[in-house]
Amino acid sequence: MNFKENFQMALFSIKTNKVRSFLTMLGIIIGVGAVITIITLGTGARDYIVGMIEDMGGSNAINIMVNMNTASDSDYITADDLDALREVDHVDNVAPVVMGLGNFTLEDGTSGLFMPIGSTTDVFDILGLSCQYGRTFTEEEAQSAKDVCIIDVSSALMLFGSSDVVGETISYSANDITVPLKIIGVMDIAGIFGGDSGEMIDMMQSMGGGMQMASCMGLVPAATALELNGSAERYDTLYIMADDPSELDGVGAAALAKLQARHNNYDRQVYTVTNLASFVDLLDTVITIFTLFIAAVSCISLLVGGIGVMNIMFVSVTERTREIGIRKALGAKTKSIMLQFLTESVMICLIGGFIGMLLGFLLSAIASAIMNIEIHVKFYSILISVGFSSAIGIFFGLYPAKRAAEMNPIDALRKE
């Protein structure tokens, strides 16, 4: 009996017992679908998060933060420190970040909470993004603390009903000072800092004691933010971009030594240096390991499905004992009978694997739509799932097939 005949007989047997065959395949279907979905979601989430960090300049940037628990007033980073850090070898850009919180008022009387995020023009090179509408502030505007603002796109839509609000004015109030800020650009500020505009606005609203009020965030020159907050010219957070990713560790060490020397605080752990590229690699590794672990756990259902295949093949062998006896009496070889039942076992697993693959595609697409991120099914996940299905069909079908092939034809013919 050739392969074509084995295939036809296996297909006929599966069709004859549709419900039983489907229930047997169910474990394989669930297992394959779960493995493909988990691997797809895991790699999709990893690509999204890592890509987002790399878009922020994470592949060639470091972050330096002041430990406010151990720092004194003299330990904070100043404008002179920023100039000194720009002189460090392989430093390309230096961008401090300062945040505040106050109130805003529009010309129509609308008011609410406003979060100004201050930085220098270098931040645009580090983020690698431009405004959706309008422009970014210039070096001259940053140096002279101009009252200009780049508003968040979600804030623009909520307050003005349009994303293009260049030229509008928003009045910021804090510390008994009110300053009119001219909107010169619109940008997804929360997105470029790795967050979500809607979530950040909800957080600001929660600061208002749970009251429902309009909220807004905007990017302003660092000097302007300091004036708005009534703060001294000092920073607790900054980003440094290197001209070469391979120089990041050296740049971080040199920047740390420079700050410690300028502030004479070698004896205290005042500054924390984070290599964002190392963070990206670590995050990539953690997500990959977690994804593979969950996928491995999902493979348990494939093993359970394999046991079901073995069980149903034993039933099939028992039901077709006389058929086996007749075939052996007519001269069928042991190898032919073994291949017949082994083919049926593999067919059950392959059909279940194919249905599970479709289920995995469907679940991945649904999850992609819910999570609102682009997800692609990886080819290797299909190979793993289908290959595992085939292996299960061979492994768990081998013993029942061998048992059928080794039957004594006389005993098989006596079977009623």
Instruction: Write out the chain's pLDDT in tens, 416 residues.
Output: 566 776 777 777 777 777 878 888 888 888 888 888 888 888 887 777 777 666 655 557 888 888 888 888 888 888 889 989 989 998 888 989 888 888 888 888 888 888 888 898 988 887 777 788 999 999 999 888 899 999 988 888 888 888 899 999 999 988 778 889 999 999 887 665 555 555 555 555 554 444 445 678 889 999 888 888 777 778 888 888 888 878 888 888 999 999 999 998 888 888 988 887 676 777 777 877 877 787 777 777 777 778 888 877 777 777 777 777 777 677 777 777 777 777 878 888 888 888 888 888 888 888 888 877 777 777 777 777 777 777 777 777 777 777 766 666 666 556 55
Q: Identify the helix (H) or strand (E) that includes residue 102.
A: strand 102-105
pLDDT of residue 166: 93
Handedness of CA 64, 70, 72, 73 (dihedral sign): positive
pLDDT of residue 41: 83
What does the radius of gyration of the chain's CA atoms come to, in whole angstroms?
Answer: 33
pLDDT of residue 150: 93
The answer to whether residues 243 and 324 belong to one domain is: no
Choosing from 230, 257, 275, the residue where a domain stops is 275
- What does the block give as tokens for 333? 């070889």
The answer to whether residues 294 and 349 belong to one domain is: yes
Name the percent of the chain in helix, strand, coil, to the closest 5.
60, 15, 20
The answer to whether residues 32 and 71 belong to one domain is: no
- What does the block give as tokens for 87? 């002189």
Angle (deg, nearest 10), helices 276-319 and 321-329: 70
d(C-alpha 255, C-alpha 51), whole Å? 26
Got the DSSP string for 281-293? HHHHHHHHHHHHH
pLDDT of residue 410: 62
pLDDT of residue 1: 53
The answer to whether residues 136 and 260 belong to one domain is: yes
The answer to whether residues 76 and 222 belong to one domain is: yes
d(C-alpha 40, C-alpha 291), whole Å? 9
Choosing from 220, 242, 275, the residue where a domain stops is 275
Q: Where are the alpha helices (DSSP H) in 114-196?
A: 122-127, 139-143, 153-160, 189-192
First to last CA, the chain: 25
The answer to whether residues 40 and 89 belong to one domain is: no
pLDDT of residue 203: 54
Q: pTM higher than 0.95, yes or no?
A: no
B/e letters for 41-60, b = 16+ CB within 10 Å, e = fewer, are bbbbbbbebbebbbebbbbb
The total of structural domains in the chain comes to 2
Choosing from 275, 305, 339, the residue where a domain stops is 275
pLDDT of residue 10: 72
B/e letters for 149-164, b = 16+ CB within 10 Å, e = fewer, are bbbbbbbbebbbeebe
pLDDT of residue 408: 66
The answer to whether residues 16 and 68 belong to one domain is: no
Give residues with Cβ within 8 angstroms of 311, minimum separation 6.
24
Count CA within 13 A, CB hemisphere, residue 396: 26
Q: Identify the helix (H) or strand (E) that includes residue 312.
A: helix 276-319
Count CA within 13 A, CB hemisphere, residue 14: 24
d(C-alpha 360, C-alpha 200), whole Å? 34
The answer to whether residues 266 and 311 belong to one domain is: no
Range of 112's domain? 61-275
Angle (deg, nearest 10), helices 18-55 and 379-405: 150
pLDDT of residue 186: 92
The answer to whether residues 113 and 248 belong to one domain is: yes
Residue 108 vs residues 23, 101, 159: alpha-carbon distances, Å: 66, 21, 10
The answer to whether residues 224 and 301 belong to one domain is: no
Q: Where are the beta strands (DSSP E) in 213-359?
A: 214-221, 237-242, 271-275
The answer to whether residues 30 and 93 belong to one domain is: no
pLDDT of residue 47: 76
Strand order in the sheet with 61-66: 91-96, 237-242, 61-66, 271-275
The answer to whether residues 290 and 178 belong to one domain is: no
Residues, the chain:
416
The DSSP bridge partners found for residue 185 are 134, 150
Token look-up 């013919």 returns: 413
